[in-house]
Amino acid sequence: MFVDECTIKVAAGDGGRGCVSFRREKYEPWGGPNGGDGGKGGDVVLLGDDDTNNLVDFKFRPHWKGERGEHGLGKDCNGREGRDAVLRLPLGTIVTDAATGALVAEITEDGQRVVLCAGGRGGLGNTHFKSSTRQAPRKAQPGEPGVVGEFRLELKSIADIGLVGFPNAGKSSLTGRITRARPKTAAYPFTTLRPQLGVIEFPATYDRLLLADVPGLVAGASENRGLGHRFLRHIERCKLLVILLDMAGADGRDPRDDYATLLKELKLHDPALLKKPRLVVANKMDLPEAKANLVKFKRRYKVVVQPVSCASGVGLEKLKLALRRRALAAGGRPRPAFKKSAEPTV
């Protein structure tokens, strides 16, 4: 199940109360106050996790709470601090206040930590209230309550490459051939109902690139037609856009018109998308009509076209190398093939 929007309610832990206590040792006749302080309440912490790719954990567990700090004890023993509630979020998550819509945090790096709600301060024990005129204070502070709030999480995937195209153009097939992802493929449109993330591995250089495949766009997607409009935000941060075209012209469509329609829908969603570097990939080149359509396409559009066939596998290795070269030129940084494990959730 893929979830890219949800609302959570969080509460940091309350601080422990201070202690009222006096020394009772046999050889200390004057005694004196020795009440310890209460422990600080646990924070609610956001942690960027590169191994997480959606918000499904927060869809079914919307309430998060930090642990309350322990109360102070006698003999100047302070209470233990409460454990933090750590929320592991996928990179690209935007956190906004549910009431005001104000931006609270943005998780963009692996291991990034943001304190969403701070735990309450622990109360002071009666040791802090002694003086020359108050030698036996019976006063201690209660702990302060932790901060509470309701927040909205929205995921905008941070992928290196964004894959867009018409339904049934072969996006899922391409994703399955060049990555380890196994999206659903079938001979009918809209088999992809949610964004698919796949990792393109390069054994020669021991690194990888992340590919985001969004559901197919149709004409009028910016007016909520089809499915792709809901997920276009997942390619807003991609360094490189891949426009996949069915060069065989299935269902009587013209690849030249498909290309113009895709660019139009991207512009209507966000004009900045057209400023991103893009690579046109011509799929289904194993079919006889595809070659003639490719010649017509190049006459109309003076762009670099990478011909491939997901069915036969022709051109896929060249495409992977082209994607790596284009992504690096666009400022992308291939991820290492292996990385250290993230810190465990407490």
Residue count of the chain, please give it.
346
Helix (H) or strand (E) holding 299: helix 288-300
In angstroms, rounded to a whole number, what is the distance separating the alpha carbons of residues 216 and 224?
A: 13
Nearest to 173 by CA among 33, 38, 34, 316: 316
Question: Do 329 and 195 belong together in one domain?
Answer: yes
Chain segment 224-235, per-residue pLDDT in tens = 555 555 677 777
Is 290 inside a domain boundary? Answer: yes
Is 341 inside a domain boundary? Answer: no
Question: Do 40 and 148 belong together in one domain?
Answer: yes
Question: Do 205 and 227 belong together in one domain?
Answer: yes
The domain total for the chain is 2
pLDDT at 144: 95
* Structural domain harbouring 98: 1-155
Is 238 inside a domain boundary? Answer: yes
HSE toward the beta carbon, residue 101, CA cutoff 13 A: 0
- Residue 30 CA to chain centroid, in angstroms? 60
Three-state secondary-structure class, residue 1 = coil
Total Cβ atoms within 10 A of residue 346: 10
Q: Which of 155, 175, 201 is the last residue of a domain?
A: 155
Chain segment 218-268, per-residue pLDDT in tens = 665 555 555 555 677 777 788 899 999 989 887 778 889 989 988 988 888
Question: Do 172 and 315 belong together in one domain?
Answer: yes
In angstroms, rounded to a whole number, what is the distance separating the alpha carbons of residues 157 and 51?
A: 12
Question: Do 58 and 167 belong together in one domain?
Answer: no
Question: Do 200 and 234 belong together in one domain?
Answer: yes
Question: Do 125 and 17 belong together in one domain?
Answer: yes
Question: Do 104 and 57 belong together in one domain?
Answer: yes
Is 346 inside a domain boundary? Answer: no
Question: Do 214 and 327 belong together in one domain?
Answer: yes
Beta-carbon contacts of residue 335 (< 8 Å; ≥ 6 apart): 50, 207, 208, 209, 210
CATH code: domain of residue 170? 3.40.50.300
HSE toward the beta carbon, residue 333, CA cutoff 13 A: 4
CB 66 within 8 A of CB 117: yes
Is 343 inside a domain boundary? Answer: no
pTM, rounded to two decimals: 0.72
Nearest to 239 by CA among 217, 283, 272, 205: 272
Query: Is pLDDT of 85 > 80?
Result: yes
Question: Do 73 and 219 belong together in one domain?
Answer: no
Is 345 inside a domain boundary? Answer: no
In angstroms, rounded to a whole number, what is the distance separating the alpha carbons of residues 181 and 178?
A: 9
- Residue 48 CA to chain centroid, in angstroms? 8
Helix (H) or strand (E) holding 257: helix 255-269
Share of the chain above pLDDT 70, in %: 87
Q: Which two tokens stand for residue 287?
A: 């079919």
Enumerate the β-bridge partners of residue 150. 9
pLDDT at 218: 63
Q: Which of 125, 155, 185 is the last residue of a domain?
A: 155
Question: Do 175 and 287 belong together in one domain?
Answer: yes
Q: Which of 117, 136, 155 is the last residue of a domain?
A: 155
pLDDT band per the 50, 70, 90 thresholds, residue 346: very low
Chain segment 202-214, per-residue pLDDT in tens = 887 777 888 888 7
Chain segment 60-78, per-residue pLDDT in tens = 999 999 999 999 999 999 9
Question: Do 143 and 233 belong together in one domain?
Answer: no
Is 18 inside a domain boundary? Answer: yes
